[in-house]
Amino acid sequence: SDLDLAIDQLEDLTDSIDYAVIGPHDSRTHEIRTTRFPFNTICHVERDFGDGIWRGCSGTLIGPQKVLCAGHCLYNHRLKKAPVRVRVSPGRADRDTRPYGSIMVLRSYVPRRYVHPRTVSDLRNYDYGLAILPQPFKGLHTFMDVRALSNAQLEEMRHKRLISIAGYPADRPVGTLWRHSERLTRTGPRRLYYTIDTCPGDS
């Protein structure tokens, strides 16, 4: 069915380092100031689905013990299960440098409509998740805001401001933080459209 094909494609894109929205020139910048806000809220989210292999994703601390990330970071449709372990490291600088350490996730949530999609659109519209930590990270006291902007505010942002994506892309050295800023190209009822260079792992 179309839904099964969409699920397979989603998992292929999530697992592939070759798929990326980059070009014609890669304008991503390697961010080395990982202990400065807001980059110290960007987390390397590693998942183990039971085979002992850590797979990377990205998330954002929106509170002392809450990490917002993509739904596909916390549930794998191909395996039909959530990770058995999830490890979060904010402001990670490289393979060996975790300035705030790492904490194992206590529990995580994704929408039911993402786990059990009824349509192909559900895979896109409900692809978000929340990971809960057992305790805060020492030394982190400021977190990313989450708010719903009005249509007028979104239009003003589209014309006057840049938006940024920062994360840990799979096509760069493990644990390195990259960012890129661009303008929104348009907005929709459920999505923001942009030409920011991204790659799996940035989610």
User: Could you read off the pLDDT of 90-146 as tens digits, one per residue?
Assistant: 999 999 999 999 999 999 999 999 999 999 889 889 999 999 999 999 999 999 999
- Candidates 13, 25, 32; CA nearest to 70 is 13
Mean pLDDT score across all residues of the chain:
89
What pLDDT is recorded for position 52?
95
Residue written as tokens 């790659």? 199
Q: Residue 17 has what pLDDT?
A: 42
55, 4, 192, 197: CA torsion to nearest 10: 40
Q: What is the DSSP letter of 41?
A: G
Per-residue confidence at 200, pLDDT binned at 50, 70, 90? confident
| Residues 50-82: tens digit of each pLDDT | 999 999 999 999 999 999 999 999 999 989 999
More confident residue, 184 or 198: 184
Q: What is the pLDDT of residues 173-187, one digit of tens each?
A: 999 999 999 899 998
Report DSSP state, residue 186: E
Phi, psi of 12 (to 5 degrees): -60, -45
Report the run of H or E that residue 130 belongs to, with start and end. Answer: strand 129-132
Which pLDDT score is estimated for 196?
A: 72
State residue 21's pLDDT score: 57
Count CB atoms within 10 A of the CB of residue 150. 8
How much is the pLDDT for 82?
A: 96
Q: Quick one: pLDDT band at residue 169, thresholds 50, 70, 90?
A: very high
Nearest to 130, CA basis, from 152, 117, 116, 146 = 146
Query: Is the preceding peptide bond at 24 cis, omega within 30 degrees of 0?
Result: yes
Q: What is the predicted pLDDT for the residue at 18?
A: 42
Q: What is the pLDDT of residue 156?
A: 93
Count of other CB atoms within 10 angstroms of residue 50: 10
